[in-house]
Structure 1
Amino acid sequence: MSVKTVLITGTSSGIGLATAVAAARDGWHVIATMRDTTKSPALQAAARDAGVSLDVRALDVTDPASVDACLTGLDRLDALVNNAGAGHVGTLEQESVDDVRAVMEVNFFGVLHVTRAALPLLRTSRGRVVTVTSVGGVVGQPFNEAYCAAKFAVEGFMESLAPVAATTGVSVSVVEPGAVASEFVSNVGIDATAPEAAGPYAPALSAYLERTRGAFADAQAPQEVAHTLVDLLNAERPAFRVLTSDRARAFAGTKLKDLDGSAVQGLTRGWVS
């Protein structure tokens, strides 16, 4: 059998980097993409250490022309892993609508751009779409309004797309990590002085940041999430929803069995008080 090809977005660090290397070690031909390929040295070093090679390409998920350029010329694609994304902490009164739009562009519309471009190739191979979302796509979280909105949107979109894509032989899955030890958190850009500018929300933001520091102190390693993703790439019948740890399963399970919303509200109110 010929080697299968997977395209992975957001591979300069974290889950994307670990998944690109793990998939290559598993025998996949990996097209590892990132917005700025000058940020590829860490990925290239990890690939060398693992004894694998990667096809590294530039791809800005928010730019349809960049997406088309990256996929142009591909004669085979067996899987797409939508991993690129960006964290964001803020609350409605203290950020602009443009701030919220920017979060949606990366975390929601970026996924749509790449998936739409990849589907014709995936239909030919009867392949699969795997999208890394978050437990924040199941449970709304304080000061993550825009981020969770984007992830909720991705989950709803993929849940709705899945039965349609299946009629043409393409499977669709979402993967929901909890806290992961990666540069994702530092890229959010929140520092210790943030509560000073939070006005009436200062006490709540201080409590939230303290809780979040504790959660990420015991975060899951990116390599563990990568292992889950590679298993899903190889699964004969991939599940639609996969959570990557017992903690993530317990957290998301709170929502999935919370018919009146009281359990989630009781949980998250404790984060800001």
Structure 2
Amino acid sequence: MTAPKTVLITGTSSGIGLAAALGAARAGWRTIATMRDTGKAEALLKAAAETGVADRIHVRRLDVTDPESIAACLDEVIAEHGRLDALVNNAGAAQVGTIEQSSLDDVRTAMEVNFFGVVATTRAALPHLRAAQGRVITVTSVGGVVGQPFNEAYCAAKFAVEGFMESLAPVAATVGVDVTVIEPGAVASEFVANLGLDVPALLTAAGPYAPALQAYIARTQQSFGNAQTPAEAAAPIIDALSAERPAFRVQTSPWARDFVATKLADLDGSAVQDLTRAWVR
């Protein structure tokens, strides 16, 4: 009897990560569901029990901004299961604001979680993935292709992830490791709620940017009213885990495909600028 393959997923306490952990377990993967605070595992464990996959989900602590935490988690996975066949980089954090009113520490924090955390986790996992002829799947965003108002730091980090993975993919392929990026659009999850934004306070503090910010918030609230569910956004991750030859770039919805296509066909940048300028008027 063939032993199940092992996948490690970061950021599984809620949203896409939680849905991906459940989906991977349902697909037969031994799923290492990691999170920075394992005290937040209750929702995942409850859902795993309800769907009959609790025996395939193993919650472990992993903080993507802490190299020692990453190494300890991977050492434990290899000691217990002997292999790692896939890594899903999902952990991330939003950061809303424009640079004149954000601190450099705010920008550095966004880069640490959303970019350097992905780089560090991928780097540590690659020797094991190479041994297993496995794959790296990274959740980026349509914001990793199209820069979006009041998301300068977040989009910068996601752009960096896309560039890193696009550059890594052909090199990793030479040693048998596939690389894929998953690009969701709006997803109805705690990712947005966890921002804890005080909108009136933000608008009060925005000064000359207040009208643009108000327009952006109104547009964003509308777009999240028609958002995908986390399970819908996670489905392409599960497909990429099992595909014989996964695509490098995968959008999670027709809307996301159309949105990304605007940028990929926009040689002089005018189409994207026309699109996003309308969000802040």
Equivalent position of 1:145 in the other structure: 152
Residue among 237, 262, 273 paired with 2:245: 237
Question: How far is the alpha carbon of 1:195 from its aligned partner?
Answer: 0.9
1:172 aligns with 179
Residue 20 of structure 2 corresponds to 19
- Per-residue deviation at 1:181? 0.4
Following the alignment from structure 1 to structure 2, what is the Cα–Cα distance between the partners of residues 198 and 103?
A: 20
Q: Map of 1:1-273 to 2, 5 A cutoff?
A: 1-53=2-54, 54-73=57-76, 74=78, 75-193=82-200, 194-273=202-281
What's the secondary structure of 1:242's corresponding residue?
strand
Q: RMSD value over aligned CA atoms? A: 0.7
Q: TM-score, normalised by structure 1?
A: 0.99
Q: Secondary structure at the match of 2:111?
A: helix
- Tell me how far 1:104 sits from its aligned partner: 0.2
Counterpart of 2:13 in 1: which secondary structure? coil
C-alpha displacement of 1:87: 0.7
1:164-197: CA deviations, max 9, x gaps? 0000000000000000000111122323211111
- 2 CA distance for matches of 1:34 and 1:269? 36
Q: Can you list the C-alpha shifts for 1:112-148, whole angstroms capped at 9, x where unaligned?
A: 1110110000001100000000000000000000000
Superposed displacement of residue 2, structure 1 = 1.8
Instruction: Tell me the secondary structure at the aligned position of residue 185 of structure 2.
Output: coil
Question: Structure 1 residues 139-148 or 186-195, which shifts more?
Answer: 186-195
2:152 and 2:109 mapped to 1: Cα distance? Answer: 13
Question: Which runs of no fewer than 5 residues in structure 2 stay unpaired?
Answer: none
Q: For residue 27 of structure 2, what is the amino acid of its counterpart?
A: D
C-alpha separation between the residues in 2 aligned to 1:172 and 1:84? 17
Q: What's the offset of the Cα at 1:95?
A: 1.0
The C-alpha deviation readout for 1:213-238, integer Å capped at 9, x for no partner, is 00000000110122111011000001
How many Å separate the matches in 1 of 2:254 and 2:102?
34
- Scaled by the length of structure 2, the TM-score of the pair is 0.96
One-letter amino acid matched to 1:44: L
What percent of counterpart residues are identical? 70
Count of residue pairs brought into register by the alignment: 273
Q: Tell me the distance in 2 between the aligned counterparts of 1:232 and 1:174.
A: 9
SS in 2 for 1:202: helix
Q: Which residue identity is paired with 2:74?
A: L
Encode CA deviations 1:238-269: one digit per residue, 9 max, x unaligned. 10000000000011110000000000000000
Q: Which amino acid aligns with 2:116?
A: F
Q: Tell me the secondary structure at the aligned position of residue 252 of structure 1.
A: helix
